[in-house]
């Protein structure tokens, strides 16, 4: 009986080795451990909000259509759809506010992440304790810097856009994970490459095939929107090994392209410089009017309280024609007159 128990215990101890190495080829216990190349950027881990499922998450397909949904004076709405048109992710832009270029993304009404355009990139990134390297090559200063944060405000990725249409994408540690630039072979397309210079994604407007072939594709109610339709394609033929190709991380390039489509609406065709939208000026005007109204109300209230506590002295003025002035002492006075 005791011998049977020992044989059973030995079999249970040997069973994990048999299951993990059925052919008996596991001579080294560290052979199956994946060792990441320290020279490559660190894989972006899930944030606390994502771990506790307070923020949404979605695995995207290889072909993503960045399609408009609604465009009005106060807001814009769009969606990320698959090649069949099924909505996967939605986003909303509030145009009547100070940060009118920011976008809020959600999945089935559950918040996912927020794209924030920085006004003072160096100062704001320093407050987030994120330090980015200098631009590669001889690029000028970035024209736009965007931080992509989860629904609780935790930074995940940062993108920089340059005037010539080049992009640099960093993780939360400030490590370069991808670059983007206009295609030299097909004008109108954007090629995105990993940190090793290998391409892994293409973007085009309104679709990649229309940019490449010139054949007009039908898009529903395309003329009713004031921002462009874009398409992102993760091709299998590319040799890149970046984790941004994985379905859970494909949203990064899609978000960069979507922000590019929104910012393009502010570029003036004649000068190429960004213009200030009417909604922003109207919002600032409303704030100024409200502030002046509040200040006027406060001053009027203070003045009313002051005059209520310290009322002005009233001067009683009689009728000058009723005053009797006959000279000398008043009537009935016994005072002697002085010589």
HSE toward the beta carbon, residue 21, CA cutoff 13 A: 11
**Span 261-287, pLDDT tens digits:** 898 888 766 566 777 888 889 989 999
DSSP 274: B
Six-digit token string for 271: 């000068």
**Span 95-137, pLDDT tens digits:** 888 888 899 999 998 999 999 999 899 999 999 999 998 887 7
Mean pLDDT rounded to a whole number for the chain:
81
Please determine, for residue 159, whether its predicted confidence score (pLDDT) is greater than 60: yes
Six-digit token string for 54: 């307070």
To the nearest 10°, the Cα dihedral for 231, 236, 241, 242?
Answer: 20
Q: Locate the domains of the chain by residue range.
A: 48-275, 276-313
In 3D space, the residue among 172, 71, 152, 161 whose CA is nearest the CA of residue 111 turns out to be: 152
Please state the pTM of the whole predicted model: 0.76
Please determine, for residue 317, whether its predicted confidence score (pLDDT) is greater than 90: no
Of 185 and 58, more confident: 58
Task: Strands of the chain (E only): list them.
Answer: 63-71, 75-81, 87-94, 103-107, 110-117, 144-150, 155-161, 167-171, 176-182, 189-194, 199-204, 230-233
DSSP 59: -
Q: How many Cβ atoms sit within 10 Å of the Cβ of residue 107? A: 17
* Position 79 confidence tier, pLDDT thresholds 50, 70, 90: very high
Whether the CB-CB separation of 60 and 67 falls below 8 Å is answered with no
Query: Phi and psi of 92, rounded to 5°?
Result: -140, 140
* Position 93 confidence tier, pLDDT thresholds 50, 70, 90: very high
Please determine, for residue 318, whether its predicted confidence score (pLDDT) is greater than 80: no
Q: Which CATH class for the 48-275 domain?
A: mainly beta
CB proximity list for 124: less than 8 A, separation 6 or greater: 118, 147
Query: Which of 74-78, 83-87, 313-317 shows the lowest mean pLDDT across its residues?
Result: 313-317
**Span 172-221, pLDDT tens digits:** 999 999 999 988 888 888 999 998 889 899 998 888 877 767 667 666 66
Please determine, for residue 331, whether its predicted confidence score (pLDDT) is greater than 50: yes
Query: Phi and psi of 219, rounded to 5°?
Result: -120, 130
Please determine, for residue 17, whether its predicted confidence score (pLDDT) is greater than 50: no
Please determine, for residue 252, whether its predicted confidence score (pLDDT) is greater than 90: yes
Query: Which of 72-86, 288-302, 314-328 shows the lowest mean pLDDT across its residues?
Result: 314-328
Query: Phi and psi of 36, rounded to 5°?
Result: -80, 145
Alpha-carbon distance 110 to 57, whole Å? 9
Share of the chain above pLDDT 70, in %: 75
């Amino acid at each position: 009986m005791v011998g049977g128990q020992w044989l059973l215990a030995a079999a249970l101890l040997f069973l994990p080795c048999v299951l993990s190495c059925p052919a008996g080829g596991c001579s080294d216990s560290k052979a199956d451990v994946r060792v990441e190349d320290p020279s490559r950027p660190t894989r972006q881990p899930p944030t606390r909000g994502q771990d506790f499922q307070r923020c949404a998450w979605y695995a995207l397909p290889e072909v993503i259509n960045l399609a408009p949904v609604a465009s009005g004076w106060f807001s814009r709405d769009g969606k990320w759809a698959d090649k069949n048109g099924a909505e996967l992710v939605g986003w909303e832009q509030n145009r009547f506010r100070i940060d009118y270029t920011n976008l809020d993304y959600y999945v089935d009404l559950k918040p996912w992440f927020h794209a924030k355009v920085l006004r003072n990139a160096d100062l704001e990134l320093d407050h987030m304790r994120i330090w980015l390297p200098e631009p590669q090559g001889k690029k000028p200063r970035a024209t736009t810097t965007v931080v992509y944060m989860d629904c609780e405000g935790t930074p995940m990725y940062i993108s920089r856009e340059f005037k010539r249409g080049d992009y640099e994408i960093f993780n939360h540690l400030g490590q370069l994970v991808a670059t983007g630039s206009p295609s030299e072979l097909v004008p109108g397309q954007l090629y995105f490459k990993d940190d090793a210079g290998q391409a892994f994604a293409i973007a085009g407007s309104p679709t990649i095939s229309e940019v490449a072939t010139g054949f007009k594709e039908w898009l529903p109610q395309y003329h009713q929107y004031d921002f462009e339709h874009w398409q992102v394609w993760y091709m299998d033929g590319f040799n890149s090994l970046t984790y941004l190709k994985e379905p859970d991380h494909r949203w990064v390039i899609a978000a960069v392209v979507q922000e590019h489509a929104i910012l393009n609406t502010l570029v003036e065709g004649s000068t190429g410089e960004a213009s200030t939208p009417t909604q922003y000026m109207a919002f600032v005007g409303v704030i100024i009017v409200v502030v002046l109204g509040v200040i006027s109300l406060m001053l009027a209230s203070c003045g009313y309280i002051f005059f209520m506590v310290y009322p002005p002295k009233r001067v009683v003025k009689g009728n000058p024609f009723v005053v009797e002035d006959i000279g000398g002492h008043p009537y009935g006075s016994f005072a002697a007159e002085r010589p």
